[in-house]
Amino acid sequence: DLSSKDMKRDLYIVAHVIRIGRMLLNDSKKGPPHLHYRRPYGCAVLSIMDVLQSISEIKEEKDFVLKVYT
């Protein structure tokens, strides 16, 4: 039987970052101007346990920084 403590330890927030734009950064003059591509840029992960511990210590809004791995 899984306890709520076990569930919190194994939950994560996952952010999948998508870049929308031209294929290359220096493609300013090539191709139609309306053509934009969606490409994966990176991914970031944050443990829910870290969030819950921070929220329980301070009873106010808090920012979390996630490192994006490209």
Task: Write down the pLDDT at residue 25.
Answer: 60
pLDDT for the residue 1: 47
Quote the pTM value: 0.58
Each residue's pLDDT tens digit, 8-38:
568 899 999 998 877 666 655 655 666 678 8
Q: Looking at residue 38, what is its pLDDT?
A: 87
Pairwise CA distance, residues 8 & 52, whole Å: 9
Helix/strand/coil percent split, the chain, to 5: 25, 30, 45
Q: What is the pLDDT of residues 38-55, one digit of tens each?
A: 889 999 999 888 888 777
